[in-house]
Each structure stands twice: as C-alpha cells, then as structure tokens.
C-alpha cells in the first residue's frame, strides 16, 4: 500500500519564491502599526482623525494585496 501524501496544489515550489515578499512584509507592518495607532486615536482622542489614519493605513494594505496578485 502506497502511503505517499497527495501533492500540495496550492503551494508554489521553492524555486518560485515570491519576489515581493520583503516589500509585502514591510507594507503589512506599516498597515498593522497604522491601524493600531488609528484605533488608539479613534477611541482616545478624535474619531474623525482616527478614521482618516485607519483609511490611510488601508492604502498600504491595498498595495500589498496588489503585489500579492502580480507575483
């Protein structure tokens, strides 16, 4: 009886590494920090300014998502 595992169809080979991985990680860090700061400003200071900070951090997440699709 053959006990091999099925091939992972949703994973890329190691030779097809994501060329934008470092940039995507930086963009994700900026997004997370921006969202955290935006939430803090939203709850402790001004809701309008906090909303704009969160929306501004979402631009970085959108850019990261675009890089994920074009890899």
pLDDT at residue 18, rounded to an integer: 76
Classify residue 4: in a domain, yes or no: no
Residue 22, CA distances (Å) to 29, 32, 48 in order: 11, 16, 32
Number of domains in the chain: 1
CA nearest neighbour of 59 among 35, 25, 37? 35
Classify residue 26: in a domain, yes or no: yes
Classify residue 3: in a domain, yes or no: no
pLDDT at residue 35, rounded to an integer: 96
Q: What is the pTM of this model?
A: 0.73
Classify residue 2: in a domain, yes or no: no
Classify residue 13: in a domain, yes or no: no
pLDDT at residue 3, rounded to an integer: 64
Host domain of residue 57? 18-70
Classify residue 60: in a domain, yes or no: yes
Tens of pLDDT along the chain (71 residues) come to 556 766 666 666 555 567 888 999 999 999 999 999 999 999 999 899 999 999 999 999 999 999 988 87
The token duo for 2 is 């053959």
Average pLDDT, the chain: 85
């Amino acid at each position: 009886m053959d006990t091999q595992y099925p091939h992972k169809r949703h994973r890329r080979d190691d030779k097809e590494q994501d060329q934008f991985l470092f940039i995507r990680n930086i963009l994700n860090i900026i997004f997370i920090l921006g969202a955290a700061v935006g939430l803090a400003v939203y709850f402790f200071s001004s809701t309008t300014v906090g909303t704009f900070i969160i929306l501004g951090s979402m631009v970085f997440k959108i850019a990261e998502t675009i890089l994920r699709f074009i890899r």
